Amino acid sequence: MNRLVQVNLRVGLLSNVEPVLMQTAFQALRETEAKYQEVSLEIETVPVKIYCASCEQTSEVQQYKFICAHCGQLNNNVVEGTELLIHQVHFSEN
């Protein structure tokens, strides 16, 4: 394992991170630091999901309306969408 070739981020819609800006910042780094020239950045955005205890179901939040898609009850039990993770890193073999 040696040279870094790719970094994967998982970025929730509630993390306040803007993938486009992150890519641009990474581009700037790539252009100024020779050792990162061949490293790519992959950003996966994660939608906001809530878990409803009465339906025992998870649903996706649309337009920031925190409402269970199954029963229509208001719900703020966010289970996904706040993360800011370095999810994977890839290295070249030689």
Partner 1 sequence: MAIEKSSKGARGSVQCENTSLNLLKANDFMAENIRKEMKRRNILMLNITSSAGSGKTTLLQETARRLANQVKMKVLVGDLETERDASRIRETGIDALQIVTGGICHLEAQMVWQAMDQIDLEGVELLIVENVGNLVCPASFDLGEDYRVTLIATTEGDDKPKKYPRMFLTSELMLVSKADLLPYLPFSVEAVTKDAQEVNPDIGVMQISSTSGEGIEAWCQWLLEKVEAKRKPQLTTV
**CB of residue 64 to partner 1, shortest distance in Å:** 5
If the CB atoms of residues 1 and 34 are measured against partner 1, the closer one turns out to be: 1
- DSSP symbol at 63: T
Give the interface with partner 1 as residue ranges (CB under 8 A). Answer: 1, 5-6, 10, 14-16, 64-67, 74-76, 78, 82-94
What is the residue whose two structure tokens read 């993938």?
19
If the CB atoms of residues 57 and 73 are measured against partner 1, the closer one turns out to be: 73
If the CB atoms of residues 32 and 94 are measured against partner 1, the closer one turns out to be: 94
CA triplet 29, 42, 31: central angle to 5 degrees? 20
Two tokens, residue 52: 């409803």
What is the residue whose two structure tokens read 């890519």?
23
